[in-house]
Each structure stands twice: as C-alpha cells, then as structure tokens.
Amino acid sequence: MKKLISLLIIIPYFFTSTIAQVLFKASPPTDGPGSPIYLHDEVKQYDFADKADGYWLYEPASPRPDSANVIVFNHGYGGYNPMIYGAWIKHLVRKGNIVIYPRYQKNVYFPRPPKFSKMVSKAIRDALVMMENKHFVQPITRNLTMVGHSYGGVISADLATNFEAHNIPKPVAIMLCSPGTGPLKGGVLDSYENLPDDLKMIVMVSNGDRTVGDVFGIKVFEEATNVVQRNFIRQYADVSISPKHTHGHNESYALDFDFDNGVRNFTARRALRIGKTDNVDYYGYWKIFDALLDCSRNNKNCEYAFGNTTEQKSLGKMSDGTPLKTLEITLPPIGANNTTSSN
C-alpha cells in the first residue's frame, strides 16, 4: 500500500514538472551584438595545420576586404577539429574578422601542456608572416583579441600576460570560456597579476562544470588586479524551457560541418554527441564576445560586455516576454583591499 501511495505522489509531480516546461526555439538577437547581421557572405579557409605548431586560417569573403582585425581562437584540449566551434567561427568571420585557429597539439599525447603556449605563439607569428603575402586579407594587429575555451582559456591568459616573451602583438581583449586544465596543470602560471592594466577581460564559467570547475577562472579574475575592465560571468541551467539550457563544461561548442577536418578523437566524438547551438551561445558567448570586440576597438556596445547590465545578463526571452534565466555577473572589487563580491 505504501508503494501505491508513493507512486500516486510521483505521477502528479512528473506531469506537473513536464507541463511546466515551455517549448522554446533558440534564436539569436535581431540586432546588435550576437545578431546574424553580417558584412560578408562567405568564409575563405586555409589549412596550415599539419604540425603541432600549425594553424587553420579563416578570412571573410564575398565581398573580400582589403584588411581585417585578427582574432586568435584557442580550442580546448583535443579540440583540433575546428568543426567543434565552427558555427561561432563562421559568425566571427562573416562579421568581418580574420580568425587564426592554432592547432597546438599533434595528438592528445604530444606535446605536453607546458609547451602549448609556445605552439600557439609560433602559430600566431607564422600566420601573421604568411598574411603579408598580398594573396591574403591583410591583418590589423593593433586590435588583436583572443578567445579560449577550457585549456585554450589557460593558454590565452598566459599569452596575454607574457605577450612580449612570446613575441606576439599585445592583445587588447581576451574572453576565457570555462577555462581550466583538469589534472594537467602544466600551463598554469603562478600568478596573473601582471596582466596589462588596459586589457579588457571576460571570464565566463558554467555552474555545473564537472570537468574543470571554476577554480582557474576565479584565480585569473581575482589575481588580475591591474585589469580594471574585467567581469566574471556565471551561467546556470534553465529547466523551465525545452530543450533546457544546460550548464556543463562545453556550452561553447557550436558545430558546423563546413569546418570539419575529419578528426574523430574523443573530443570530436563528444562534441558530435553533445554539441548544440542555443541561446547560451547567441546571447551568451557570441553576444558578449561581439560586444567585447566592439568595446575594445571603438568603445561601443560596452554595456553588453561589462557592468552587470540588463543587456549583458540577458539570455533572451520566451514568446510571452518572460526572460530566460539570466547570467550572474561578478564585478571587480572597489578598492585594492576589498574581496570580490557577486552582483
């Protein structure tokens, strides 16, 4: 009898929970950062990635510009198939950017993590030399920007800190997406206090990340005390919609088979299994990085990247105007001796 009573309690709860979910179709903003308002119709692809220090290069085309700003996109561990982030890369290039996608790994065993930044910096230097040829869109390096996921976030933080030692242009902005190393900590610096004071930095983590967690992201954010314009962003699951917004380590995956190089290692197979493009991409990663680019280049759309604003926090709305679960923003502390606080 007790089992029957328990079942009767569970069944109504199940149906209530199911009914509470709203069917939701992901869609990007209609204008502004993150929107599919593009300057170019095509992406020109080049493969110089046969070695660990190689790279893939993506240029805007149709129409072909004479020059374009440069973004370095640093993938996560094992992510040397650009398909994994292809939709985001395509978005960035069609917006008018050159994207350098360093390989930095020959395979998942070689080279070891302490050499990753060296591989990436060589790829950047080689790509910029290659683009001196008039066959390529000419790179504008004064606004060099980096985005990195997972171990790519660790690499990006290193290169932004030690750009002179790596002999690369000084980055004006970086976005670290679920940054961290797991057990392979060889690429982590002792401190990030030497990140330049004029750098603009976003650190974005997902609350349910069980791969690297938020330890490294918090470390960089709290130690980069010279960096005035920095925000720490936390993304949560939203189970009120179907399909729901998850909050795992790989929310920045955005598959596009136009960028598939055929690699099917464990990272690529995982991406094929779980990769999706939803409002966490459109209003989260894509919107905020677009705004970071605009803010660092021409001081526009900064309210979409910084400040704990409605524009920054929003992940879109349901058809009835109800906001989806928003991002949580942590601002830098006021005063050198204060501790970081959430807003």
Overall average pLDDT of the 212-220 stretch = 98
Nearest to 253 by CA among 149, 336, 146: 149
184: confidence class by pLDDT, cuts 50, 70, 90 = confident
Query: Which residues are CB-neighbours of 235 under 8 A, at least 6 positions away?
Result: 204, 205, 206, 207, 245, 247, 251, 280, 284, 327, 328
Q: Which residue has the tokens 């982030």?
A: 85
Amino acid symbol at 111: P
> Would you say residue 4 has pLDDT above 60?
no
Q: How far apart are CA 285 and CA 288, in angstroms?
A: 5
**Contact indicator for 310, 287 with CB cutoff of 8 Å:** no
The phi and psi torsions of 102 (rounded to 5 degrees) equal -65, 145
> Would you say residue 8 has pLDDT above 60?
no
The phi and psi torsions of 158 (rounded to 5 degrees) equal -65, -50
334: confidence class by pLDDT, cuts 50, 70, 90 = confident
336: confidence class by pLDDT, cuts 50, 70, 90 = very low
Which pLDDT tens digit goes with each residue over 269-316? 999 999 999 999 999 999 999 999 999 999 999 999 999 999 999 999
Q: What's the length of the chain?
A: 343
Which pLDDT tens digit goes with each residue over 32-71? 999 999 999 999 999 999 999 999 999 999 999 999 999 9
Report angle CA 237, 243, 246 to the nearest 5 degrees.
25
Burial class (CB in 10 A: 0-12, 13-18, 19+), 9: exposed
> Would you say residue 3 has pLDDT above 70?
no
Overall average pLDDT of the 20-24 stretch = 86
Overall average pLDDT of the 203-228 stretch = 98
Domain tally, the chain? 1
Q: How far apart are CA 256 and CA 313, in angstroms?
A: 26
Overall average pLDDT of the 181-200 stretch = 95
CATH number at residue 19: 3.40.50.1820
Q: How far apart are CA 44 and CA 137, in angstroms?
A: 10
pLDDT score, position 297:
98
- CA 7 distance to own-chain centroid: 44
pLDDT score, position 21:
81
Q: How far apart are CA 129 and CA 10, in angstroms?
A: 65
24: confidence class by pLDDT, cuts 50, 70, 90 = very high
Which pLDDT tens digit goes with each residue over 122-177? 999 999 999 998 899 999 999 999 999 999 999 999 999 999 999 999 999 999 99
pLDDT score, position 145:
98
pLDDT score, position 288:
98
Question: What is the percent of the chain with per-residue pLDDT over 70, rounded to a whole number?
Answer: 92
Average model confidence (pLDDT) for the chain?
Answer: 93
> Would you say residue 264 has pLDDT above 50?
yes
pTM beyond 0.85: yes
Domain of residue 176, residue span: 2-342
pLDDT score, position 335:
63
Question: What is the percent of the chain with per-residue pLDDT over 90, rounded to a whole number?
Answer: 89
3-state secondary structure (DSSP) of residue 264: coil
Which pLDDT tens digit goes with each residue over 313-333? 999 999 999 999 999 999 999
